[in-house]
Amino acid sequence: MTYWNRAVETVSRDQLTALQDQRLQNAVRRAWDNCRPYRAKMEAAGLQPGDIQGTGDLYKLPLTLKDDLRDGYPYGMFAVPLGDVLRIHATSGTTGKQTVVGYTKGDIEVWNECMARCLTMAGATKDDIVHVAYGYGLFTGGLGGHYGGEAIGAATIPASAGNTKRQLQIFTDLGSTVLLCTPSYAMHLGDAVRDAGIKDRLKLRIGIFGAEPWTEKMRGEIEERLGLRCYDIFGAAELLGPGVACECSERNGLHVMEDHFLIEILDPETKKPLPDGEPGELVFTCVTKEALPLIRYNTRDICAVDRRSCACGRVFARMGKITGRTDDMLIIRGVNVFPSQIENVLLGVPGAAPYYLLVVDRVSNLDTLEVRVEMAAGFPFDEVRRVEALERQIAKEVLSALGVSAKITVTAPGSIERSESKAKRILDNRP
Ligand code: ADP
Ligand code: ZN
């Protein structure tokens, strides 16, 4: 089975829907026939495969959660014998136990194709030098980026994450033009470039960053340090890996590869569909996956969807930037707090650096939030008054933007742990 078809990005919406309807029917039938947990869930809901005729019936199907995949650990949700599996990866385990995912030859082809589309959307061509600084290994970022680079015919460098000095050497000696990594590692690389004074020796022009939430302000900071144009890319191992959605030149939302992934946005409370433009939980159905079927998988990431046509000519719906995942949302004395909201505040305060950690504690039954943030390089950290003034200013802005009071601790440059993959932004000490 092959799904290679880049022209599908510009078919009419009706043609796309017809393709989705047909693929959804097949996907439901495959899950029913080959994956007992899906069949059990459908039966419990009184559904037969024939009840699902197209995307209009999607809402009838039960949701799938990360815990369903965890329950089946490691291979319980696979729909093909292991003999037909070509590769195995795992999730990062950001919110708990890792889940194991598998790919058939067809799944790998789809993945490579989707990644190739993403690189192309961001403007990369075969003449680029694609530097992959996502970790290679069970994490999908490294190999996902790698085969995407090769699929567009670009010279692809398997740098993997870490060893920052060596990354800079690859930039200058090998002339990387496209960089793939997490935004937090890109930020760290940018600071290292600044410290080494080598920005004018870089050939970087495109950065494709994802795997964790990042704000528009963070985008600006990275672009300034590395002298490139950044694009947001989304993925999750359960779905595929990187390559599920990516920004085009308009950078106005991430086009979802809708010939493979159906997107829904649900109200986090009622789990009912929300109108376009309203942020809610991001749910995907994979209509072509063979090894690991995924029907109405609730990522618990929060964003909105925009199905209006895009100036770039692609029909695929655009998901907005993810503001956080429901799993990451802190509730501090009744106020919902996402790390990205704090990041937004910090990056607007001169003197604060974009390295921070949120520490949550419970003191006599009350939740407390401490924001540890580094001062920017060059800030006079031995001048206690200036440091205290900076702390007061950040506290005031956090209160006015989020409505929550937080203790701010400004720390010395370099004191907060740097991330090579997904940054750890929360330390929750509550019992
Ligand atoms: P884990 O769920 O353990 O982190 P993955 O490594 O598969 O496993 O990561 C998938 C998750 O990473 C997504 O559900 C989402 O929370 C996050 N993510 C991926 N890409 C982005 C992005 N561009 N923006 C924000 N979050 C992202
Ligand atoms: Zn577009």
- Please name the residue whose Cα sits nearest to atom 18 of ligand 1: 211
284 lines ligand 1 (CB under 6 A): no
Answering whether pTM is above 0.75, one says yes
pLDDT of residue 2: 44
What is d(CA 126, CA 151) in angstroms, rounded to the nearest whole number?
Answer: 9
213 lines ligand 1 (CB under 6 A): yes
Q: Identify which ligand lies nearest to the alpha carbon of 232.
A: 1
Amino acid, res. 396: K
Q: For residue 238, which atom of ligand 1 is closest to its CA?
A: 7
pLDDT of residue 95: 80
Intervals of the chain under pLDDT 50: 1-3
pLDDT of residue 327: 83
Give me ligand 1 centre to Cα 245, in Å.
12
Q: How many CB atoms lie within 10 A of CB 76?
A: 14
Give me ligand 2 centre to Cα 180, in Å.
20
Q: Please, what are the domains in the chain?
A: 1-326 (3.40.50.12780), 330-428 (3.30.300.30)
Phi, psi of 418 (to 5 degrees): -85, 150
Q: For residue 325, which atom of ligand 1 is closest to its CA?
A: 16
pLDDT of residue 51: 98
Q: For residue 282, which atom of ligand 1 is closest to its CA?
A: 14
211 lines ligand 1 (CB under 6 A): yes
pLDDT of residue 200: 98
pLDDT of residue 130: 98
pLDDT of residue 339: 94
Q: Identify which ligand lies nearest to the alpha carbon of 98.
A: 1
